[in-house]
Chains A and B, each alone.
Chain A
Protein backbone atom coordinates (compact mmCIF):
# COMPACT_ATOMS: atom_id res chain seq x y z
CA UNK A 1 0.00 0.00 0.00
CA UNK A 2 1.44 3.32 -1.08
CA UNK A 3 0.28 6.68 0.29
CA UNK A 4 -0.89 9.49 -1.94
CA UNK A 5 1.57 12.14 -2.98
CA UNK A 6 2.65 14.87 -0.60
CA UNK A 7 5.49 17.29 -0.02
CA UNK A 8 7.81 16.59 2.89
CA UNK A 9 9.15 19.28 5.21
CA UNK A 10 11.53 18.84 8.10
CA UNK A 11 11.78 22.13 10.01
CA UNK A 12 14.61 22.56 12.53
CA UNK A 13 12.70 24.87 14.87
CA UNK A 14 9.24 25.10 16.38
CA UNK A 15 8.76 28.61 14.92
CA UNK A 16 9.49 27.25 11.45
CA UNK A 17 7.11 24.32 11.96
CA UNK A 18 4.29 26.60 13.16
CA UNK A 19 4.88 28.89 10.19
CA UNK A 20 4.79 25.99 7.72
CA UNK A 21 1.58 24.64 9.25
CA UNK A 22 -0.03 28.09 9.01
CA UNK A 23 1.03 28.87 5.45
CA UNK A 24 0.99 25.55 3.56
CA UNK A 25 -2.21 24.09 2.13
CA UNK A 26 -3.59 21.01 3.86
CA UNK A 27 -0.55 20.52 6.09
CA UNK A 28 -0.33 18.01 8.93
CA UNK A 29 2.37 17.53 11.54
CA UNK A 30 4.10 14.13 11.54
CA UNK A 31 5.22 12.83 14.93
CA UNK A 32 5.95 9.10 15.34
CA UNK A 33 3.73 8.45 12.35
CA UNK A 34 2.36 5.15 13.58
CA UNK A 35 -1.23 6.36 13.39
CA UNK A 36 -0.89 8.79 10.47
CA UNK A 37 1.24 6.72 8.07
CA UNK A 38 -1.08 3.67 8.22
CA UNK A 39 -4.02 6.01 7.55
CA UNK A 40 -2.12 7.52 4.61
CA UNK A 41 -1.37 4.04 3.24
CA UNK A 42 -5.11 3.31 3.32
CA UNK A 43 -5.70 6.73 1.69
CA UNK A 44 -7.97 7.63 4.59
CA UNK A 45 -5.60 10.56 5.15
CA UNK A 46 -4.22 12.43 2.14
CA UNK A 47 -2.40 15.52 3.38
CA UNK A 48 -0.68 17.63 0.74
CA UNK A 49 2.10 18.63 3.08
CA UNK A 50 3.71 16.70 5.93
CA UNK A 51 5.64 18.64 8.56
CA UNK A 52 8.00 16.15 10.19
CA UNK A 53 8.68 17.24 13.78
CA UNK A 54 11.69 14.95 14.29
CA UNK A 55 14.18 17.72 13.53
CA UNK A 56 13.03 19.93 16.43
CA UNK A 57 15.16 19.20 19.49
CA UNK A 58 13.06 21.49 21.71
CA UNK A 59 10.16 19.03 21.48
CA UNK A 60 12.14 16.14 22.97
CA UNK A 61 13.00 14.99 26.46
CA UNK A 62 11.73 14.84 30.03
CA UNK A 63 12.64 17.36 32.73
CA UNK A 64 11.61 18.53 36.17
CA UNK A 65 10.40 22.07 36.72
CA UNK A 66 9.79 22.48 40.43
CA UNK A 67 7.00 20.09 41.33
CA UNK A 68 6.05 19.55 37.68
CA UNK A 69 7.30 17.02 35.19
CA UNK A 70 7.55 18.44 31.67
CA UNK A 71 7.46 15.92 28.84
CA UNK A 72 8.34 17.09 25.34
CA UNK A 73 5.66 16.11 22.84
CA UNK A 74 8.12 14.15 20.66
CA UNK A 75 9.33 11.99 23.55
CA UNK A 76 8.74 8.37 22.54
CA UNK A 77 7.12 5.65 24.64
CA UNK A 78 10.51 3.92 24.61
CA UNK A 79 12.15 7.03 26.04
CA UNK A 80 9.48 7.26 28.75
CA UNK A 81 10.35 3.69 29.72
CA UNK A 82 14.05 4.58 29.92
CA UNK A 83 13.58 7.83 31.89
CA UNK A 84 14.71 7.88 35.52
CA UNK A 85 12.56 10.95 36.17
CA UNK A 86 9.44 9.14 34.96
CA UNK A 87 10.39 5.97 36.87
CA UNK A 88 10.65 7.97 40.10
CA UNK A 89 7.87 10.53 39.80
CA UNK A 90 5.31 9.04 37.41
CA UNK A 91 5.68 5.26 37.33
CA UNK A 92 2.09 4.95 36.08
CA UNK A 93 3.29 6.42 32.77
CA UNK A 94 5.70 3.53 32.41
CA UNK A 95 3.07 0.96 33.32
CA UNK A 96 0.84 2.46 30.63
CA UNK A 97 3.60 2.75 28.01
CA UNK A 98 4.32 -0.95 28.38
CA UNK A 99 0.82 -1.91 27.27
CA UNK A 100 0.86 0.37 24.22
CA UNK A 101 1.36 -1.51 20.95
CA UNK A 102 4.63 -3.46 20.67
CA UNK A 103 8.36 -2.74 21.08
CA UNK A 104 8.92 -1.47 17.54
CA UNK A 105 5.97 0.90 17.75
CA UNK A 106 7.14 2.19 21.15
CA UNK A 107 10.50 3.21 19.65
CA UNK A 108 8.67 5.49 17.22
CA UNK A 109 5.36 6.34 18.89
CA UNK A 110 5.38 9.65 20.76
CA UNK A 111 3.45 10.70 23.82
CA UNK A 112 2.44 13.90 22.02
CA UNK A 113 1.02 12.03 19.07
CA UNK A 114 -0.77 9.61 21.36
CA UNK A 115 -2.58 12.37 23.26
CA UNK A 116 -3.11 14.87 20.42
CA UNK A 117 -4.59 12.51 17.84
CA UNK A 118 -7.86 12.29 19.72
CA UNK A 119 -8.18 8.55 19.08
CA UNK A 120 -10.47 7.16 21.82
CA UNK A 121 -8.50 3.89 21.63
CA UNK A 122 -5.22 5.52 22.66
CA UNK A 123 -4.14 4.84 26.23
CA UNK A 124 -2.49 8.11 27.26
CA UNK A 125 -5.51 10.48 27.11
CA UNK A 126 -7.38 8.84 30.00
CA UNK A 127 -4.18 8.68 32.02
CA UNK A 128 -3.44 12.36 31.35
CA UNK A 129 -6.96 13.29 32.49
CA UNK A 130 -6.41 11.19 35.61
CA UNK A 131 -3.12 12.95 36.33
CA UNK A 132 -4.59 16.42 35.70
CA UNK A 133 -2.08 17.04 32.92
CA UNK A 134 -1.83 20.34 31.07
CA UNK A 135 -1.14 20.36 27.33
CA UNK A 136 1.02 23.23 26.08
CA UNK A 137 0.32 24.11 22.46
CA UNK A 138 1.69 26.67 20.07
CA UNK A 139 0.29 28.19 16.91
CA UNK A 140 0.62 31.28 14.76
CA UNK A 141 -1.38 33.20 17.36
CA UNK A 142 1.01 32.27 20.18
CA UNK A 143 1.21 29.71 22.93
CA UNK A 144 -1.59 28.54 25.22
CA UNK A 145 -2.28 25.77 27.70
CA UNK A 146 -5.26 23.41 27.73
CA UNK A 147 -6.20 21.03 30.52
CA UNK A 148 -6.35 17.41 29.36
CA UNK A 149 -9.86 17.28 30.83
CA UNK A 150 -10.95 20.07 28.43
CA UNK A 151 -9.08 18.76 25.39
CA UNK A 152 -11.19 15.90 24.05
CA UNK A 153 -14.42 16.83 22.25
CA UNK A 154 -15.21 13.71 20.24
CA UNK A 155 -13.49 10.90 18.39
CA UNK A 156 -10.53 12.61 16.66
CA UNK A 157 -11.92 16.04 17.61
CA UNK A 158 -9.87 18.00 20.11
CA UNK A 159 -9.40 21.56 21.33
CA UNK A 160 -6.33 21.85 19.12
CA UNK A 161 -7.00 24.58 16.54
CA UNK A 162 -5.84 24.16 12.94
CA UNK A 163 -2.19 25.14 12.74
CA UNK A 164 -1.47 24.46 16.39
CA UNK A 165 1.16 21.97 17.54
CA UNK A 166 1.26 20.28 20.93
CA UNK A 167 4.71 21.12 22.28
CA UNK A 168 4.81 19.61 25.77
CA UNK A 169 2.79 18.12 28.60
CA UNK A 170 3.05 19.40 32.18
CA UNK A 171 2.10 17.06 34.99
CA UNK A 172 2.18 17.96 38.68
CA UNK A 173 4.06 15.03 40.23
CA UNK A 174 1.70 13.04 42.47
CA UNK A 175 2.75 12.94 46.14
CA UNK A 176 5.36 10.40 47.22
CA UNK A 177 3.66 7.18 48.30
CA UNK A 178 0.73 7.56 45.92
CA UNK A 179 -0.83 4.43 44.50
CA UNK A 180 -1.37 3.92 40.80
CA UNK A 181 -2.45 1.37 38.26
CA UNK A 182 -3.38 1.13 34.60
CA UNK A 183 -5.52 -1.94 33.92
CA UNK A 184 -6.02 -2.76 30.25
CA UNK A 185 -7.96 -5.66 28.81
CA UNK A 186 -6.96 -6.38 25.23
CA UNK A 187 -7.32 -9.31 22.89
CA UNK A 188 -3.64 -9.46 22.06
CA UNK A 189 -0.42 -7.44 22.13
CA UNK A 190 -0.79 -4.40 19.93
CA UNK A 191 -4.56 -4.19 20.20
CA UNK A 192 -6.52 -1.23 21.46
CA UNK A 193 -8.25 -1.70 24.78
CA UNK A 194 -11.48 -3.65 25.00
CA UNK A 195 -11.67 -1.59 28.18
CA UNK A 196 -9.04 0.09 30.35
CA UNK A 197 -8.94 2.13 33.54
CA UNK A 198 -6.31 4.40 35.09
CA UNK A 199 -6.26 5.07 38.82
CA UNK A 200 -4.10 7.45 40.86
CA UNK A 201 -4.90 7.66 44.56
CA UNK A 202 -3.48 8.41 47.98
CA UNK A 203 -4.31 6.53 51.18
CA UNK A 204 -4.37 7.85 54.71
CA UNK A 205 -4.99 5.68 57.77
CA UNK A 206 -6.25 2.79 55.64
CA UNK A 207 -8.79 4.97 53.83
CA UNK A 208 -8.72 6.53 50.38
CA UNK A 209 -7.78 10.20 50.77
CA UNK A 210 -7.73 11.31 47.13
CA UNK A 211 -8.60 9.45 43.98
CA UNK A 212 -8.95 10.04 40.26
CA UNK A 213 -10.09 7.48 37.70
CA UNK A 214 -9.82 7.62 33.91
CA UNK A 215 -11.40 5.34 31.30
CA UNK A 216 -10.01 4.34 27.89
CA UNK A 217 -11.98 3.29 24.80
CA UNK A 218 -15.31 3.20 26.58
CA UNK A 219 -16.82 6.26 24.90
CA UNK A 220 -16.24 8.71 22.03
CA UNK A 221 -13.39 10.12 24.09
CA UNK A 222 -11.38 9.16 27.12
CA UNK A 223 -13.42 9.86 30.26
CA UNK A 224 -12.70 11.10 33.77
CA UNK A 225 -14.91 9.06 36.09
CA UNK A 226 -15.56 11.72 38.74
CA UNK A 227 -18.48 10.05 40.51
CA UNK A 228 -16.68 6.71 40.60
CA UNK A 229 -13.71 8.33 42.31
CA UNK A 230 -16.02 10.12 44.76
CA UNK A 231 -17.57 6.77 45.64
CA UNK A 232 -14.31 5.43 47.09
CA UNK A 233 -12.94 8.54 48.82
CA UNK A 234 -13.16 8.08 52.58
CA UNK A 235 -13.66 4.31 52.28
CA UNK A 236 -11.26 1.46 52.93
CA UNK A 237 -12.10 0.11 49.44
CA UNK A 238 -14.40 -2.51 50.87
CA UNK A 239 -16.61 -4.53 48.54
CA UNK A 240 -19.47 -2.05 48.75
CA UNK A 241 -17.22 0.87 47.79
CA UNK A 242 -15.68 -1.06 44.90
CA UNK A 243 -19.14 -2.04 43.64
CA UNK A 244 -20.34 1.55 43.90
CA UNK A 245 -17.29 2.82 42.00
CA UNK A 246 -17.70 0.23 39.21
CA UNK A 247 -21.39 1.06 38.90
CA UNK A 248 -20.72 4.81 38.77
CA UNK A 249 -18.05 4.29 36.13
CA UNK A 250 -20.27 1.99 34.06
CA UNK A 251 -23.00 4.64 34.16
CA UNK A 252 -20.90 7.08 32.10
CA UNK A 253 -19.54 4.51 29.60
CA UNK A 254 -21.03 4.27 26.12
CA UNK A 255 -18.77 1.80 24.32
CA UNK A 256 -19.36 0.88 20.69
CA UNK A 257 -19.96 -2.73 19.75
CA UNK A 258 -17.08 -3.99 17.63
CA UNK A 259 -14.75 -6.96 17.25
CA UNK A 260 -13.81 -6.51 20.89
CA UNK A 261 -17.33 -7.32 21.99
CA UNK A 262 -20.85 -5.94 22.25
CA UNK A 263 -21.45 -2.77 24.31
CA UNK A 264 -22.86 -4.71 27.29
CA UNK A 265 -19.72 -6.82 27.55
CA UNK A 266 -17.34 -3.89 27.17
CA UNK A 267 -19.23 -1.89 29.81
CA UNK A 268 -19.12 -4.85 32.18
CA UNK A 269 -15.37 -5.42 31.77
CA UNK A 270 -14.89 -1.66 32.04
CA UNK A 271 -16.27 -1.96 35.57
CA UNK A 272 -13.94 -4.90 36.21
CA UNK A 273 -10.95 -2.84 35.04
CA UNK A 274 -11.95 -0.03 37.43
CA UNK A 275 -12.22 -2.49 40.32
CA UNK A 276 -8.86 -4.12 39.60
CA UNK A 277 -7.09 -0.80 39.08
CA UNK A 278 -8.44 0.53 42.39
CA UNK A 279 -7.32 -2.58 44.25
CA UNK A 280 -3.86 -2.63 42.73
CA UNK A 281 -3.37 1.12 43.24
CA UNK A 282 -4.35 0.79 46.91
CA UNK A 283 -1.88 -2.07 47.40
CA UNK A 284 0.90 0.11 46.04
CA UNK A 285 0.02 3.20 48.11
CA UNK A 286 2.12 3.89 51.18
Chain B
Protein backbone atom coordinates (compact mmCIF):
# COMPACT_ATOMS: atom_id res chain seq x y z
CA UNK B 1 0.00 0.00 0.00
CA UNK B 2 1.42 3.36 -1.03
CA UNK B 3 2.54 5.53 1.83
CA UNK B 4 1.37 9.06 2.30
CA UNK B 5 3.56 11.96 3.38
CA UNK B 6 2.05 13.77 6.35
CA UNK B 7 3.12 16.85 8.26
CA UNK B 8 1.67 18.09 11.52
CA UNK B 9 2.68 20.17 14.49
CA UNK B 10 3.42 18.20 17.64
CA UNK B 11 4.28 20.11 20.83
CA UNK B 12 5.05 23.20 18.78
CA UNK B 13 7.46 21.52 16.37
CA UNK B 14 6.71 20.68 12.74
CA UNK B 15 7.05 16.95 12.21
CA UNK B 16 6.66 14.77 9.13
CA UNK B 17 6.59 11.15 8.21
CA UNK B 18 5.53 8.53 5.71
CA UNK B 19 2.53 6.53 6.83
CA UNK B 20 0.18 3.94 5.45
CA UNK B 21 -3.43 5.17 5.52
CA UNK B 22 -4.19 2.53 8.17
CA UNK B 23 -1.52 3.80 10.57
CA UNK B 24 -3.24 4.96 13.74
CA UNK B 25 -2.27 8.34 15.12
CA UNK B 26 -1.06 6.78 18.37
CA UNK B 27 1.29 4.48 16.45
CA UNK B 28 2.62 7.42 14.43
CA UNK B 29 3.30 9.34 17.65
CA UNK B 30 4.90 6.44 19.50
CA UNK B 31 6.78 4.70 16.69
CA UNK B 32 7.56 7.31 14.03
CA UNK B 33 8.06 10.23 16.41
CA UNK B 34 9.44 8.03 19.22
CA UNK B 35 7.32 9.88 21.76
CA UNK B 36 6.22 7.03 23.99
CA UNK B 37 4.52 9.13 26.67
CA UNK B 38 1.19 8.64 24.92
CA UNK B 39 0.10 5.19 26.04
CA UNK B 40 -1.96 2.45 24.45
CA UNK B 41 -4.21 0.96 27.09
CA UNK B 42 -7.28 -0.82 25.81
CA UNK B 43 -6.85 -0.06 22.09
CA UNK B 44 -10.67 -0.03 21.88
CA UNK B 45 -11.59 3.65 22.52
CA UNK B 46 -12.58 3.01 26.13
CA UNK B 47 -9.69 3.80 28.46
CA UNK B 48 -8.40 7.20 27.37
CA UNK B 49 -4.69 6.42 28.00
CA UNK B 50 -3.95 7.50 24.41
CA UNK B 51 -5.68 10.88 24.77
CA UNK B 52 -3.89 13.77 23.06
CA UNK B 53 -4.97 17.35 22.45
CA UNK B 54 -5.68 17.89 18.75
CA UNK B 55 -6.83 21.25 17.39
CA UNK B 56 -8.37 22.12 20.75
CA UNK B 57 -10.11 18.77 21.25
CA UNK B 58 -9.32 15.83 23.51
CA UNK B 59 -8.97 12.91 21.12
CA UNK B 60 -8.32 9.21 21.64
CA UNK B 61 -5.40 8.76 19.29
CA UNK B 62 -6.03 5.01 18.94
CA UNK B 63 -9.25 5.83 17.10
CA UNK B 64 -7.95 8.18 14.44
CA UNK B 65 -5.69 7.60 11.48
CA UNK B 66 -2.47 9.59 11.24
CA UNK B 67 -3.50 10.75 7.74
CA UNK B 68 -6.56 12.37 9.30
CA UNK B 69 -4.30 14.44 11.55
CA UNK B 70 -2.35 15.92 8.63
CA UNK B 71 -1.96 19.65 9.29
CA UNK B 72 -3.20 19.33 12.88
CA UNK B 73 -1.78 21.00 15.97
CA UNK B 74 -1.21 18.30 18.59
CA UNK B 75 -0.06 18.37 22.21
CA UNK B 76 1.14 15.23 23.97
CA UNK B 77 2.42 14.70 27.51
CA UNK B 78 5.92 15.52 26.22
CA UNK B 79 4.65 19.04 25.57
CA UNK B 80 2.97 19.61 28.91
CA UNK B 81 5.88 20.94 30.98
CA UNK B 82 6.44 24.69 31.22
CA UNK B 83 8.80 26.16 28.60
CA UNK B 84 11.57 26.39 31.23
CA UNK B 85 11.25 22.67 31.95
CA UNK B 86 9.49 23.01 35.29
CA UNK B 87 6.30 21.08 35.93
CA UNK B 88 3.08 22.67 34.68
CA UNK B 89 0.26 23.24 37.14
CA UNK B 90 -1.41 19.96 36.21
CA UNK B 91 1.77 17.93 36.47
CA UNK B 92 2.52 19.55 39.81
CA UNK B 93 -1.02 18.82 40.96
CA UNK B 94 -0.72 15.13 40.11
CA UNK B 95 2.60 15.01 42.00
CA UNK B 96 1.47 16.92 45.07
CA UNK B 97 -1.93 15.21 45.40
CA UNK B 98 -0.67 11.69 44.63
CA UNK B 99 -2.85 11.67 41.51
CA UNK B 100 -1.05 8.61 40.20
CA UNK B 101 0.13 5.26 41.42
CA UNK B 102 1.25 3.11 38.50
CA UNK B 103 1.13 6.13 36.20
CA UNK B 104 -0.12 4.35 33.11
CA UNK B 105 -3.28 6.44 32.74
CA UNK B 106 -1.56 9.69 33.75
CA UNK B 107 -0.57 11.09 30.32
CA UNK B 108 -4.13 10.70 29.07
CA UNK B 109 -5.57 12.04 32.31
CA UNK B 110 -3.36 15.13 32.18
CA UNK B 111 -4.09 15.84 28.52
CA UNK B 112 -7.84 15.46 29.11
CA UNK B 113 -7.68 17.65 32.22
CA UNK B 114 -5.70 20.22 30.23
CA UNK B 115 -8.58 20.67 27.76
CA UNK B 116 -11.20 20.49 30.52
CA UNK B 117 -9.55 23.42 32.35
CA UNK B 118 -9.22 25.38 29.09
CA UNK B 119 -12.98 25.07 28.59
CA UNK B 120 -13.96 25.45 32.25
CA UNK B 121 -11.34 27.22 34.36
CA UNK B 122 -13.10 26.58 37.65
CA UNK B 123 -14.93 23.26 37.46
CA UNK B 124 -16.90 21.73 40.31
CA UNK B 125 -15.96 18.28 41.54
CA UNK B 126 -18.91 16.87 39.60
CA UNK B 127 -17.81 18.64 36.42
CA UNK B 128 -14.31 17.24 36.85
CA UNK B 129 -15.61 13.72 37.33
CA UNK B 130 -17.92 14.03 34.30
CA UNK B 131 -15.11 15.64 32.30
CA UNK B 132 -12.67 12.77 32.88
CA UNK B 133 -15.30 10.06 32.42
CA UNK B 134 -13.54 8.88 29.27
CA UNK B 135 -10.32 8.09 31.14
CA UNK B 136 -10.00 4.95 33.23
CA UNK B 137 -7.69 4.59 36.22
CA UNK B 138 -7.41 1.22 37.97
CA UNK B 139 -5.23 2.40 40.88
CA UNK B 140 -6.34 5.59 42.53
CA UNK B 141 -10.10 5.32 42.78
CA UNK B 142 -10.04 8.76 41.10
CA UNK B 143 -10.19 10.67 44.40
CA UNK B 144 -6.65 11.98 44.15
CA UNK B 145 -6.95 12.62 40.44
CA UNK B 146 -9.89 14.91 41.13
CA UNK B 147 -7.83 16.65 43.82
CA UNK B 148 -4.89 16.99 41.43
CA UNK B 149 -7.10 18.74 38.88
CA UNK B 150 -8.59 20.97 41.59
CA UNK B 151 -5.03 21.82 42.70
CA UNK B 152 -4.09 22.74 39.13
CA UNK B 153 -7.24 24.83 38.63
CA UNK B 154 -6.49 26.76 41.81
CA UNK B 155 -2.88 27.33 40.79
CA UNK B 156 -3.85 28.48 37.28
CA UNK B 157 -6.48 30.82 38.76
CA UNK B 158 -3.95 32.16 41.27
CA UNK B 159 -5.91 31.15 44.35
CA UNK B 160 -4.86 29.00 47.27
CA UNK B 161 -5.83 25.34 46.95
CA UNK B 162 -8.01 24.16 49.79
CA UNK B 163 -8.46 20.46 50.08
CA UNK B 164 -12.05 19.49 50.85
CA UNK B 165 -12.54 17.87 54.24
CA UNK B 166 -13.14 14.13 54.08
A residues touching B (Cβ–Cβ < 8 Å)?
1-8, 10, 33-34, 37-38, 40-41, 50, 52, 54, 78, 101-105, 107-108, 189-190
Contacts and interface: CB of A to CB of B under 8 A. Distances in A.
Interface string B30-74: 000000000000011110100100000111100111011000000
B44 to A, nearest CB: 6
Contact of A190 (B68, B130, B133): B133
B64 A103 contact: no
Classify chain B: how many residues form its interface, as a range: 20 to 34
Contact of B45 (A3, A6, A34, A107): A34
Contacts of B134: 101-105, 189-190
Which of A8, A10, A54 gathers the greatest number of chain B CB atoms within 10 Å? A8
B22 A5 contact: yes
A108 B4 contact: no
A78 B131 CA distance: 12
Contact of A37 (B65, B116, B130): B65
B135 to A, nearest CB: 8
Given A50-B21, A190-B46, A104 B68 contact: no
Contacts of A7: 1, 21
B21 A102 contact: no
Which of B45, B51, B112 gathers the greatest number of chain A CB atoms within 10 Å? B45
B24 interface: yes
Nearest to A5: B1
Nearest to B108: A104
8 contacts: A1-B44, A10-B67, A33-B68, A37-B45, A50-B21, A54-B68, A103-B133, A104-B59
Given A5-B21, A5-B22, 7 more contacts: A38-B45, A102-B134, A103-B132, A103-B134, A107-B57, A107-B58, A108-B60
